[in-house]
Amino acid sequence: MSANELTQEREINLFDLWQKLRAGWRLVAGGAALGLLFAGLAMVLIAPKYEALALVQVGLVGEVTQFGPPGVLSSRPAEPVPQAIERMKTPAFQLRVARSLNRQDWIDALQRSAGAGNEFLTLQLSRDTATAAGEIPLIELRARSGSPESAREISDAAVFELAERQAEIVRPAIERLKSDLAIAKGRQQQAEQDLAALSKLIPTAAVKDDQFTQLALMTTTRLVKQAEIFSQRQNIVLFETALSAPATQPAQAIESVFVAEKPVAPKRGSLLALGFFGGLLAGIVVAFIVDARRRGRHPASR
């Protein structure tokens, strides 16, 4: 077969297909219309979903890495952020959130399937902070529900539950800081008492040759006690700062939870496009099937 004959045959086949579509245009148009109709019904029957968005910072705990002047104070996350995200994705965590909200639909979904809870709560690293050097990345939390208020409640409950779990993680570190603070206060109090006693003894010591050594020793001891009091005061400030915000704080949303006024699902444009093109394709297939049956009953019309 020559190239011209092959080209001519392809043109004939395309023309034949076009003729079939023209003959069955009512089926094609009807399929597209039915697709749009089903898409419209789906938009009416599918319950709308609203989405709440929150940027969550994991809990922080203060650390004193160097005592005395100059002390060094820092903060570390209660747990690594990826670990916190995986914790919040677990069915056990989401089940506690669902029970705290008395959301029986969520509880049933979680009990039927371990991964069903992600329909209500999705989490990931915030793109804006995932690669920021020297900063603790944030968690992007999205909660979906049938109303804006319910979506906000789910988001708040998830953050509260995370704060509760991380409070248990950092409790030993908090107790150590409190213990170190109590020790520093006790040492400061003891040093102040010793200094007060020395201050009373020094004026009574006569400056004579045989007592000069004793007076010098008392004066030196007094200076040492003063330095110790100053050092303990610095430690107390460090420990108190480490125990207070912002060095130590629970997990929290850095801004108010945002909920859009319009539902995020179902997506009307996507449903209409899917219904239209799906119906159009179905109409074309039906048109070809009808044409094939017609040609089978009337071979002469081929």
Q: State the sign of the Cα–Cα–Cα–Cα dihedral 83, 251, 158, 123.
A: negative
Rounded distance between C-alpha atoms, residue 217 and residue 100, angstroms: 66
Q: Output the pLDDT for position 129.
A: 61
Distance CA 141, CA 58 (A): 12
Check: CB of residue 57 under 8 Å from CB of residue 136.
yes
Find, among 49, 76, 71, the residue nearest to 61 by Cα: 76
What's the pLDDT at 173? 93
Among 102, 101, 147, 97, residue whose Cα is nearest residue 121: 97
Q: What is the per-residue pLDDT for 146? A: 85
Tokens of 108: 């049933």
Q: For residues 145 and 129, what is the distance between their CA atoms, to the nearest angstrom?
A: 27
pLDDT of residue 45: 76
pLDDT confidence of residue 240: 92
Decide if 41 contacts 284 (C-beta within 8 A): no
What parts of the chain have a pLDDT lower than 70? 1-15, 21, 67-71, 114-118, 128-134, 202-215, 296-302
> pLDDT tens digit string along 141-159?
999 888 899 899 999 999 9
Model pLDDT, residue 128 = 65
Q: Are 57 and 254 in contact (CB under 8 A)?
A: yes
The dihedral built from the CA positions of residue 288, 289, 293 and 299, taken in this order, carries a sign that is positive
Q: pLDDT at position 68, please?
A: 60
Q: State how far the Cα of 270 lies from the Cα of 39, in Å rounded to an integer.
A: 9
**Residue whose entry in the numeric block shows the structure tokens 């995200």:** 85
> What tokens were used for 137?
């990345």
Distance of CA 2 to the CA centre of its chain: 65
- Predicted model pTM: 0.72
What is Dmax (Cα atoms) for the chain? 142
**Torsion angles phi and psi, residue 72, rounded to 5:** -120, 125
For 50-93, the pLDDT digits (tens) are 999 999 999 999 988 876 666 678 889 999 999 999 999 888 89
In the chain, where are the structural domains located?
1-46+266-295, 47-265
d(CA 159, CA 93) in angstroms, rounded, equals: 11
- Integer Cα distance of 14 and 20 in angstroms: 10
Dist CA 271 CA 41 (whole Å): 10
Please work out, in degrees rounded to the nearest 5, the angle formed at the alpha carbon of residue 46 by the alpha carbons of 42 and 27: 5
Nearest to 181, CA basis, from 121, 234, 228: 234
How far apart CA 51 and CA 288 sit, in angstroms, is 44
